Structure 1
């Protein structure tokens, strides 16, 4: 049972932990309450300030990857390209939230792991690094280099757009018709972005990021290729509606496939192995 003296000690320690992220502070104080409830006296733990200093050394100060970097009424994030823990929001079956902070910029995105759990396709504890290790390496390798094909397609489309005239469309109306035009050199921007994203996606990584990073690269390079394609199409056919919806839907479908296929294979092989052990 926690006494008034114990509660006072917890409050004193808490005042020295205010600089820590909330989730780290919460864990530290819960552990302290557990110690006190087990019969350890505050005197045995030493002064509150000293105990708090030891806690800071013992806990990882990294931020909670499920929390946004900042919030201005909507979550805001910039770490998606550099932090695999932040990228893990895209596939996090253990997080029940379907809408999570975006990896770059402001707003929300879909946690595909939570969607899979809600649909009954797997349980939160079905997925771990061992499950991904059971996926054939060539499949993960293929997804790593898929964005290179998108970059090549973007380059081909940009060449068509560049050669079509002195101007190319730079903005489209809601109906899909070009309503703003710029110098034809703008056509080279999408393939440059696609190439950069493809290079980033092919970099080696570990853990679930072996699946998540290529999936995001497929989406990013695919969107860039889609933009290049509709730019070329509208440069050649300025009065026709550009297939913008398809240009965005295809890369998203590719990203989902780059996660769904490894997950399906990994989980299936895990279940088979568990069945063999029980037999």
Structure 2
């Protein structure tokens, strides 16, 4: 009886540490809102936009840190500014949206690296905390800010669910029906920026895109309807966040990469075993070979 008791005590140990309680709470909220907002990005095929905004917040964080202001506010302002610049380039030139995103996010990210390098000359900064998150740095204020952002994001999505859904699948039809598509687009950009800001302490600038896209892509392989995808993606996002944080406590690895790997693992499982689209669960082909072998053969060079 002693060994099971010791093992059980070890397993529940993370839940007794105050910093882990804060981190797990933030992880649940971040996993939820990232998956929900990311579902809209996936439907609109705008994954690069999430990447652009996530990289663009870095200079805002650096400036806020130098001014001893709120990093959350600095990151949010930089994220919104990047979307304004992207839309301005797209509206004032023939440059396509994906090219504008690539130009803006790389420029903002480079500016952020330069600013952090300048700040490091006077004060040492661990760049990894900005890029990959820092579970140990989650404070009560971070928990409060994340809760406010999560409530705001979920409330907006509930209130504007039908409008955002219509706009995501058929923007021209939404415009023809009198919906303010420019405001809806701006609102979605704000939701993305808020979600990314809320995720910075857990997964960081570089890895937040995975948490935005992977849960929705996983759910898309399993269920057909949009609301089902959104709900299932939220569950996957929470599971990946909790699992990554929990494992990082025992293995002393960064929480952000751990969360992303769990999200990727769930996606691979869905890709292999999805009832309708799984590589291993689809019926055998007429030739008698398995779908997996067919996939492998398609990758080999033909003579």
> Normalising by structure 2, what TM-score?
0.23
Greater fraction strand: 1
Which is bigger in relative contact order (C-alpha 8 A, separation at least 6)?
Answer: 2
Which structure has the larger Rg?
1
